[in-house]
Amino acid sequence: MYKKILISNTKQNEYFKETLGKSEILEDYSHIELRPEITNCCNFECSFCAHQIMKRKKGFMKDDLFNKILKEAKEIGIKTIDIRNMGEPLLDEKLVDRTQAASKLGFEVHTHTNGFLLNFNLFNELCEAGISYIILSLSPRTEFEKTRNRDFGVIENNLNEIARSNYKERLIVDMIGADHTQKEEEEFEQFLDNLGFQIRKKLITHNFATSNINALKYNYCHRLWNSFTINWNGDVPLCCMDYDGQLNLGNVYNNHIRDIINSSLYSEVRKEHLAGNFLEICLKCDNNHINNNLINRALENYTGVNTI
């Protein structure tokens, strides 16, 4: 199950061990970002996404499970719910109600979307239901049409409408990909700027943990400490890279979230991780490597200090 490799002795790693990674057992859950996958169905087939190779059964999360998640997350002091994983959350017709239920309980709620269904009305309804922000994953026009095989014009229309909303500042654009020219990127930035939107992050695509083992330089991964993903059927995978739920850490139908977070299996995974014995999936994952702000962001979540 585990492979041992040498850890580079960087300051980041030392800092990680002193803070987030100081123990394999979690006592404070408040910094965990809970990620319920309300559906793994999608209306896109992005070339960079593992959705197209995912073999898991497709479905939508049932109300009893969603409500159990909210109740237990509240009990243990989780503060943030990011509605997303391997699917398009806007396909769930209960998204507005679910946002409202979570928001009423005091959670900060976000979601990630491809934006195709994000029209003016739905955007406003989500904002009125209490969503803190909606992250739109986008690329410059030519790259968008190549990687998504969809008409950028639909997104353009949605953005034109959302630009008139009183809640427009709740739309966050993340730019994903690198298959575009400098000129295309500048045009894209100008297009967003004209509408009053800015790019929050530029993300290079990661490999969904599919590279050859040991192919990558390694850093500790904060995700084992500060994110918790629940698939639509209640199964808990390692993280969002574990798109097929290869490592099943438990099922929320049968266990309290707290008991999965600190189960003997999950604690052992974290303990071994700290000792430099990494799961195969982690060795195949280039996410920390590529988006190397992840540890900084983890530290930021943990300490409340902006480290980026």
Ligand X SMILES: C[S@@+](CC[C@H](N)C(=O)[O-])C[C@H]1O[C@@H](n2cnc3c(N)ncnc32)[C@H](O)[C@@H]1O
- Which among ligand SF4, ligand X, none contacts residue 282 (Cβ within 5 to 8 A by kind)? ligand SF4
**CA distances in angstroms from 158 to 115, 138, 282, listed in the order given:** 8, 13, 37
Query: DSSP of 234-274, one letter per residue?
Result: SB--SSTT-TT-SS---BTTTS-HHHHHT-HHHHHHHHHHH
Judged by CB under 6 A, does residue 46 bind ligand SF4? yes
Judged by CB under 6 A, does residue 88 bind ligand SF4? yes
* Distance, CA of 230 to CA of 61 (rounded, Å): 10
Find the binder of ligand SF4 among 90, 281, 295, 298 (CB under 6 A): 281
Q: Which stretch binds ligand X (CB under 6 A): 5-13, 52-60, 72-80, 200-208?
A: 200-208
Judged by CB under 6 A, does residue 83 bind ligand X? no
* Distance, CA of 222 to CA of 206 (rounded, Å): 16
Which residues within the stretch 288-307 sit at the binding site for ligand SF4 (CB under 6 A)? 288
Judged by CB under 6 A, does residue 122 bind ligand X? no
Residue 142 is encoded by which pair of tokens?
């030519």
Judged by CB under 6 A, does residue 88 bind ligand X? yes
Residue 192 is encoded by which pair of tokens?
């967003």
What ranges in the chain are assigned the alpha helix state H? 11-18, 63-75, 95-104, 120-128, 141-148, 152-162, 182-195, 223-226, 257-261, 264-274, 280-283, 287-290, 294-303
Q: Which stretch binds ligand X (CB under 6 A): 23-31, 82-90, 180-188, 262-270?
A: 82-90
204 CA to centre of own chain: 14
Closest CA to 154 of 35, 243, 20, 43: 43
Q: 152-171 mask for ligand SF4 (x: CB under 6 A)?
A: --------------------
Judged by CB under 6 A, does residue 206 bind ligand X? yes
Find the binder of ligand SF4 among 99, 114, 139, 233 (CB under 6 A): 114
Judged by CB under 6 A, does residue 113 bind ligand X? yes
* Distance, CA of 71 to CA of 78 (rounded, Å): 10
Judged by CB under 6 A, does residue 136 bind ligand SF4? no
Which residues within the stretch 180-239 sit at the binding site for ligand SF4 (CB under 6 A)? 209, 221, 223-224, 238-239
The residues of the shown chain that bind ligand X, judged by CB under 6 A, are: 42, 48-49, 84, 86, 88, 112-114, 137, 174, 176, 203, 205-206, 208
